[in-house]
Chain A
Amino acid sequence: MPRGEATVGRVMAQIAMVMNLDKCIGCHTCSVTCKQTWTNRTGVEYAWFNNVETKPGVGYPRRYEDQEQWKGGWMLDKRGRLVLRSGGRVKRLLSLFSNPDLPSLEDYYEPVTYDYDNLISAPAGPDMPVARPRSVLTGKPTEITWGANWEDGLGGAPQNAGADPNLSGEWAEKVRFEFEQTFLFHLPRLCEHCLNPACVSACPSGAMYKRVEDGIVLVDQDKCRGWRMCVTACPYKKVYVNHATGKAEKCTFCFPRIEAGQPTVCSETCVGRLRYLGLLLYDADRVGEAAATPDEKDLLDAQRNVFLDPFDPEVVAAARESGIPEDWLDAARRSPVYALVSKYKVALPLHPEYRTLPMVWYVPPLSPVLDAVDAAGGDQDDPDHVFAAVTRLRIPLEYLAELFTAGDTDVVGGVLMKLTALRSYMRERTLGEEGDEAVVKAVGLTGQEAEDLHRLLAVAKYEDRYVVPAAHKEDAAALSAMENRCPVETADEPGAGDGRRVMLGIPTLRRRTTDTPAGGHP
Chain B
Amino acid sequence: MNTSAADLLLWVAVPYICLAVFAVGHVWRYRQDQFGWTSRTSQLLEHRWLRWGSPLFHLGAFMVIGGHVAGLAVPASWTEAAGVDEHTYHTVAVWAGSVAGVAMVTGLGMLCARRLLSRRIRLRTDRSDKVLFPLLSATVLLGITATAAHNVFGAGYDYRSTVSVWFRGLFTLSPEPGAIAGAPLLFQLHALTACLLFAAWPFTRLVHVWSAPVGYLVRPYVVYRRRTAAATASGGRRAV
Contact = CB atoms under 8 A, between A and B. Distances in A.
A206 B223 contact: yes
B47 interface: yes
Given A137-B45, A252-B239, A511-B36, A201 B126 contact: no
Interface stretch (A28-36, A88-96, A362-370, A385-393): A88-96
Contact of A243 (B32, B124, B221): B124
B240 A478 contact: no
B208 A100 contact: no
A140 B42 CA distance: 19
A46 to B, nearest CB: 9
A342 B60 CA distance: 55
A137 B222 CA distance: 35
Interface residues of A, number: 72
A interface, by DSSP: helix, strand, loop or mixed?
loop
A204 B213 contact: yes
B240 A246 contact: no
B38 A222 contact: no
B154 interface: no
A103 B47 CA distance: 9
B54 A478 contact: no
Interface in A206-236: 206, 208-214, 218-228
A433 B199 CA distance: 85
A96 B50 CA distance: 12
Nearest to B53: A98
A250 B239 CA distance: 9
A296 B45 CA distance: 36
A100 B51 contact: yes
A42 to B, nearest CB: 10
A8 interface: no
A138 B230 contact: no
B43 A471 contact: no
A226 B120 CA distance: 18
Contacts of A103: 44
Contacts of A287: 222
Contact of A224 (B38, B52, B225, B227): B38
Contact of A221 (B35, B40, B120, B221): B35
B87 interface: no
A213 to B, nearest CB: 5
Contacts of B119: 137-138, 140
B124 A513 contact: no
Residue among B120, B127, B213, B215 with max Cβ neighbours from chain A (10 Å) = B213
A475 B228 contact: yes
A104 B223 CA distance: 27
Given A200-B221, A521-B126, A243 B44 contact: yes
A197 interface: yes
Contacts of B36: 509-511
Nearest to B221: A201
Residue among B42, B51, B225 with max Cβ neighbours from chain A (10 Å) = B225
Contacts of A206: 213, 215-216, 219, 223
Contacts of B217: 89-90, 93
A104 B47 contact: yes
A477 B231 contact: yes
Interface in B152-203: none
Interface string B120-146: 100110110000000000000000000
B44 A226 contact: no
Contact of A245 (B38, B120, B223): B38
Contacts of B2: none
Contacts, number: 185
Interface string A242-277: 011111011010010001000000000000000000
Contact of B213 (A225, A247, A487): A225
A213 B240 contact: no
B83 interface: no
A386 B57 CA distance: 63
A225 B230 contact: no
Nearest to A203: B223
B228 A138 contact: no
Contacts of B236: 480, 483, 487, 500
A97 B58 contact: yes
Nearest to B207: A225
Interface string A155-173: 0000000000000000000
B43 A99 contact: yes
Contacts of A201: 221-222
Contacts of A139: 123
Nearest to A84: B221
Given A228-B41, A521-B127, A219 B222 contact: no
Contacts of B50: 98
Contact of A97 (B33, B55, B230): B55
A478 B227 contact: yes
A210 B123 contact: no
Nearest to A135: B120
Given A221-B240, A227-B213, A255-B239, A209 B225 contact: yes
B211 interface: yes
Contacts of B222: 196-197, 200-201, 210, 287
17 contacts: A97-B57, A103-B44, A140-B119, A203-B223, A206-B215, A211-B230, A213-B227, A220-B239, A222-B34, A241-B41, A245-B40, A252-B240, A475-B227, A511-B33, A511-B35, A511-B237, A522-B126
Interchain residue pairs A-B with the least CB separation, the first 3: A204-B213, A478-B231, A218-B239
